[in-house]
Structure 1
Amino acid sequence: MPSLPLPSKFEELVPVDVPDAQWWRQAVVYQVYPRSFYDLDGNGLGDIRGITEKVPYLKELGIDAVWLSPFYPSELADGGYDVADYRDVAPELGTLADFDEMTAALHEAGIRVVVDIVPNHTSDQHVWFKEAVNSPKGSPARNRYIFRDSRIDEDGNEQIPSDWISMFGGPQWDQLADGQWYLHTFAPEQPDLNWDNPEVREEFEDVLAFWSDRGVDGFRIDVAHSLVKDQAVIFGPDPLPTWAEMEKLPWDGTHPVWDRDEVHDVYRGWRKVFDRYDPPRVAVAEAWVEDPQRRAKYASIEGLGQTFNFDLLRADFHAPQFKEIIDHNLELAARADSSTTWVLSNHDVIRHATRYGLPDLLEGEESVVGQKWLLDGGSLADVDVEQGNRRADATTMLLLALPGATYLYQGEELGLHEVGDIADADRQDPTFFRSPGVDIGRDGCRVPLPWVADAQGYGFGSETPHFPQPTWFADHAVDVEDRDPHSTLNLYRQALSLRKRLLTEERLTWEETGSEDVLQFVRPNGWRVIMNFSKDAVDLPDGDLLLSSRPLEDGRLPGETTAWLLDA
């Protein structure tokens, strides 16, 4: 959007003074999927030095922090979430010296660094698991993981311990040559750790200190709700509950696998590590916990401090639903003395520009319809691209104005859509291979970014990218969008620049609009936000217009558009 003349009152605004220890509360955090961000060394994979090279781009974008998805040594059984060494960089992505250089460059640009920690499981190539495989039953090496003997059926035959299904499909148990089985919630190459073992707890506290000592400001905790399992059930004399029985059990802190109360003992230990630093290190939990009250526990100031709120990511484009979600999550954050988080896309879900371009859905069906779209071939010909882009821009402007932190996913600032039509031979996600015809996987949001429209790999690197890029990426390349004042990239830049001056106390007041399809709120400093979910234009409230996600129509706010104003 072309820049608007800013009112004199805007220049007089004094942004809220945020102590260093509270930087995360209303930060804008940009997720980098390193292998698909920028390839500087020309091997077809994005790398750590590539991130350093693009620090000026990130600084101009206006973000507060970068979150790096796993960059550790890995066999890539799950896109790097099978970690072989928690204290190193994958050699194909760089070195620890490269990481230190990147951290220094980001800090020099005023950008904090958040890294992914994957504590539920290691890679099967981790030194611990290799030792476990080569050690006898009952050994200390095996006690770092969850091993179980075969179940004996009524005829005396040995059977798999249970019918539990892994998150990527197939059995949740794999057998070693000596007959014992190990638990893996995800892929067989990702054996679950035994968090009842003090050695495991000590190891991860040391890992957190290792990266904190290198200047890392915070951590994103992968599947934070799944670490602690009920060992009394797993190692008890009775047969394990069936998968169907497990799915019926309540998530009230007593479930054998998910969201157990004991997991918060782990995070209280981590908090002691975080608080050794000045400012204290922070963490955000990826906790897919349906009960918002229990999800808020992960944001405790005695624990991780913040948790992801995926509610808007899963919501329909529906104003009353948005308002209910916003109110509820602000209330929960206040109760935990934390701030909430807002997110629309990440490395695990269909990009929101595409989701918003799919046919309107019944409540709660968006993910189902999105998955069907992928299984049917994922062609953008079946997506209302303009509607998707319009809704995505409007929603992003709403999120950036809400109290709390906003998490952006690389490429959304370019208006990228999901790449749905990837050939089977080019796919990498284990979900696709383990669940054929059921779950197409997450590769479509992990395709390398386009930087230069007329260059090899659209400027991602000098060699063929590790994922094929569609031809329509050329229209979204950074160099193209940089020159276009109406581009999504320039909308993001303007919104983030304005936001830095507009930030104020973490409160909002809803204003009546006379329509259930229009939301309006005002922040304490007079920052007024109005989002029109309907198809028709509506009148703007009084105030000086700062920015709108689409140009006004005869002075009115178009359908599926958000505007920021400043009260006179």
Structure 2
Amino acid sequence: MTQHLADALPSDSGLPTTTGTAPGWWREAVIYQVYPRSFADSNGDGMGDLEGIRSRLPYLKELGVDAVWLSPFYASPQADAGYDVADYRAIDPMFGTLHDADAVIREAHGLGLRIIVDLVPNHCSDQHEWFKQALREGPGTPLRERFHFRPGRGADGSEPPNDWESIFGGPAWTRVADGEWYLHLFAPEQPDFNWEHPAVQDEFRSILRFWLDLGADGFRIDVAHGLVKAPGLPDLGRDEQLKLLGNQVLPFFDQDGVHEIYRSWRKVLDEYAGDRIGVAEAWTPSADRTALYLRPDELHQAFNFHYLSTGWDAEALRAAIDDSLDSMRPVGAPTTWVLSNHDVVRHRTRFGSLERARAAALLMLALPGSAYVYQGEELGLPEVTDLPDEVRQDPSFFKENGQEGLRDGCRVPMPWSGREAPYGFGDGGSWLPQPAEWAGLSVEAQTGDPHSTLELYRAALRIRRAHPDLGAGDAVQWLEAPQGVLAFRRGGFVCTANTTGEPVRMPAPGTVLLASGEVTDPGVLGADTAVWWQE
């Protein structure tokens, strides 16, 4: 049974305001992503929840982040881990109630943390009332116009309306009992909204206001590039469409019409005090295309997937950094930096070692703009690659197009304390099994150890907050460095990062502030090591 705000909160509750009024807080913020089902379990059912998150907010405050992004906690059948939303104004009982959401926002604000909630506007659940009613009403009825229902092709209509493929594999269309087909760019349980319909636009402006009234400081917008489809839904004309994602403008992604939507959303955000923000998850062919989402009358930030997808290579990283900064500068938006999230293999595993992951973290946190930290990366957690098939829940794992369903491996619950699973996650086990070796990676095990990854992150965030030349700005000054080494100056601060597997001799640019690995000789930069210097 879901619960709505009017039922959950007393009439005299007093809705919370956002923390602080300083403009532009998001320009250099470090934002921590919480995946609710895997962060902390308060009731022993093996699933993380809002009360668990609330209880761990002091940890995030101590870590040194500025804001917390919560992945979806809405009422949902959980066909895709909550990204199939049945009710955008209700909390799924597995996570708690609207009282709990209110408590998380209030307590975060009391600690000086902001809260960004995930919004899923491209699609909803097939259990959403609009979609269920559209199925009941049949072809040609008003509710069907809020989705993409089409007759099939072929003499008997048994072929999909076009050749689009689902991101999770197979056709992007499912046929219903009356013969029509509906579009779903993701799972069949996730029908796409028709954003040309005024009711869809009105509904989401109302949803924005609902969460802003509750005190949310902003929104991370899922599939922000997917809302508008090309007129007529034309064929793409080729197979293996997944290989094109992020490489070119597609008839179902990154259409120019999305920008009018975000201009209308910006007006809503600007109605509220406290500098509320919109963050686009926009996979685009180039950083220049991403920048279009961040013009002054649109959104505030966009995830930098071009940087996330760059390997541990100095030349490639420098090119990605320059391209990112150069693209954001004309629209006056901060560049964002991210290494991991709930959809990709953790960067410790992607880069091949903990040493590289630690160095990559210092490099990222030294760059101008805003940085995103995915829960557990501050512990140096690796991807869990040996999960039994029977515990996997990623929809892509169950498709027949060869996807490996590796998103489950980055979603294994956090280890907090103790020597045995579930390592303080909760009293009732965990929804995905945690590896035995995580006993040494828990928050408890790493706290106070000056060589631990957790203390490295804490130190880096403390220095970043205090140092006048970190975070703000939109440029770096590159310095001469040996091949395979990145070196840049920002005011009186210098960052050097050796991406090679061998120590490199180079002059020390100052006094060591922080290093991802041991520095025995200031004139030698260790293999796969990053160092912060004060000139």
Relative to structure 1, the CA distance from residue 70 to residue 415 in structure 2 (aligned partners, 3 Å threshold; closer, same or farther) is same
2:420 touches 2:436 (CA, 8 Å); kept in 1?
Answer: no
Which of these residues, 261, 266, 277, is aligned with residue 261 of structure 2?
A: 266
Does the 8 Å contact 1:194/1:200 carry over to 2? yes
Q: Any idea what SS the aligned residue of 1:515 has?
A: coil
Tell me, yes or no, if structure 1 residue 434 matches structure 2 residue 399: yes
Corresponding residue of 2:280: 285
> Take 2:214 and 2:136, find their aligned partners in 1: how far apart are those partners?
33
Q: Report 1:312-327 matches (<5 A).
A: 312-327=307-322
Could you tell me whether the CA contact under 8 Å between 2:247 and 2:285 is conserved in 1? no
Matched, 1:355 2:343: no
Whether the 8 Å CA contact 1:329–1:340 is kept in 2: the answer is yes
Q: Does 1:413 pair with 2:378?
A: yes
Q: Could you list the runs of 4 or more consecutive aligned residues of structure 1 that deviate by over 4 angstroms after TM superposition? A: 245-255
The equivalent of 1:205 in structure 2 is 205
Structure 1 match to 2:429:
464
| Residue 295 (structure 1) shift | 1.3
Q: Does 2:445 align with 1:480?
A: yes
**Distance of aligned partners of 1:468 and 1:252 in 2 relative to their CA distance in 1, 3 Å threshold:** closer
User: How far did 1:476 drift?
Assistant: 0.5
The residue that corresponds to 2:531 in the other structure is 563
Closer/same/farther in 2, CA of residues 254 and 34 from structure 1, 3 Å limit: closer
Q: Which stretch of structure 1 is more off in the superposition, 225-234 or 479-488?
A: 225-234
Structure 2 counterpart SS, 1:402: coil
Instruction: Give the alignment's TM-score, normalised by structure 1.
Output: 0.87
In the TM superposition, what whole-angstrom CA distance separates every residue of 1:19-74 from its partner, at most 9, and x where no partner exists?
72201111000000000000011111000010110011111100000000111111
Q: Could you tell me whether the CA contact under 8 Å between 2:236 and 2:251 is conserved in 1? A: no
Shift of 1:281: 1.5
Q: Which moved more, 1:207-216 or 1:454-463?
A: 454-463
| Residue 185 (structure 1) aligned with residue 185 (structure 2) | yes
Q: Is the 8 A contact 2:480 2:487 kept in 1?
A: yes
Give the aligned partner of residue 164 of structure 2: 164
Matching residue's letter, 2:490: R
Alignment pair present for 1:335 and 2:330: yes
* Between 59-68 and 476-485, the greater mean CA deviation after superposition: 476-485
In structure 1, the residue matched to 2:473 is 506
Alignment-derived partner of residue 513 in structure 2: 546
What residue ranges of structure 1 are gaps of 5+ in the alignment? 1-17, 235-239, 358-387
CA distance in 2, matches of 1:44, 1:70: 18
Tell me the CA shift for residue 158 of structure 1.
3.8
Give me the whole-angstrom Cα distance separating, in 2, the residues matched to 1:182 and 1:488: 47
What's the counterpart of residue 216 of structure 2?
216
| In 2, Cα distance between equivalents of 1:245 and 1:449 | 35
Any idea what SS the aligned residue of 2:373 has?
Answer: strand
SS of the aligned residue for 1:121 comes to coil
Contact 1:537–1:553, Cα closer than 8 Å, also in 2:
no
**Partner Cα distance (1:36, 1:522) in 2:** 38
Q: Residue 505 of structure 2: SS of its match in structure 1?
A: coil
- Contact conserved, 2:245 with 2:283, CA < 8 A, in 1? no
Q: Which residue number corresponds to residue 150 of structure 2?
A: 148
Is the contact made by 1:532 and 1:538 (CA closer than 8 Å) also made in structure 2? Answer: no
Check conservation: 2:119, 2:220, Cα contact below 8 A.
Answer: yes
Which residue does the alignment assign to 1:532? 498
* Aligned twin of 2:60: 58
User: Is the counterpart of residue 256 in structure 1 residue 221 in structure 2?
Assistant: no
Cα 1:431–1:564 change in 2 (3 A) is: same
Matched residue of 1:407: which SS? Answer: strand
Q: 1:90 aligns with which of 89, 92, 95?
A: 92
Cα distance in 2 for partners of 1:354, 1:251 equals: 22
Tell me the secondary structure at the aligned position of residue 418 of structure 1.
coil
How many residues are treated as equivalent by the alignment? 512
Q: CA deviation at 1:266?
A: 0.5
The code of the aligned residue for 1:424 comes to D
AA partner of residue 553 (structure 1): T
Please list, as runs of the form range in 1=range in 2, the aligned pairs for 1:119-158 lying within 5 A after superposition: 119-153=121-155, 158=158
Q: Secondary structure at the match of 2:447?
A: helix
The whole-number CA distance in structure 1 between the counterparts of 2:257 and 2:98 is 34
Partner SS for 2:533: strand
The answer as to whether partners of 2:481 and 2:487 remain within 8 angstroms in 1 is: no
Structure 1 residues 506 and 175 mapped into 2: Cα distance closer, same or farther (>3 Å)? same
Letter in 1 for 2:251: P
Report the alpha carbon displacement of residue 202 of structure 1 after superposing the two structures with TM: 0.6
Give the structure-2-normalised TM-score.
0.92
CA distance in 1, matches of 2:476, 2:375: 31
Matched to 1:210, the amino acid is F
Q: 1:243 to 1:128 in 2, by over 3 A?
A: farther
User: Which residue is equivalent to 1:345?
Assistant: 340
In the alignment, the residues of structure 1 paired with residue 244 and residue 514 of structure 2 have an alpha-carbon distance, to the nearest angstrom, of: 48
Q: Distance in 2 between matches of 1:496 and 1:321?
A: 25
Shift of 1:529: 1.1
Output the CA distance in 1 between the equivalents of 2:248 and 2:504: 48
Q: Deviations over 1:399-432 (max 9, x none)?
A: 1110010000000000000000001001000000
Paired residue for 1:392?
357
Mean Cα deviation higher: 255-264 or 401-410: 255-264
Q: 1:69 to 1:252 in 2, by over 3 A?
A: closer
Counterpart in the other structure of 2:3 = none
Alpha carbons of structure 1 residues 515 and 132: separation in structure 2 relative to 1, 3 Å: same
Partner of 1:87, secondary structure, is strand
Q: Which amino acid aligns with 2:46?
A: G
Q: Distance in 2 between matches of 1:508 and 1:515?
A: 21
**AA matched with 1:445:** C
Code of the residue aligned with 2:451 in structure 1: it is H
1:106 aligns with 2:74: no
- Per-residue deviation, residues 214-258 of structure 1 (Å, max 9, x unmatched): 111111111111101124346xxxxx4544497899999974211
Output the aligned Cα RMSD: 2.0
Single out whichever of 185-194 and 331-340 deviates more from structure 2.
331-340
Distance 2:310 2:419 in 1: 37
Range that drifts further, 276-285 or 180-189? 276-285
Measure, in 1, the Cα distance between the counterparts of 2:421 and 2:476.
50
CA separation in 2, counterparts of 1:250 and 1:173? Answer: 18
Are the structure 2 counterparts of residues 76 and 249 from structure 1 closer, same or farther at C-alpha, using a change threshold of 3 Å? closer
| 8 Å contact from structure 1 (residues 121, 192) kept in 2 | yes
Aligned with 1:353: secondary structure?
A: helix
Summarize the Cα distance change of 1:160–1:514 in structure 2 as closer, same or farther, 3 Å threshold: closer
Q: Distance in 2 between matches of 1:192 and 1:341?
A: 28
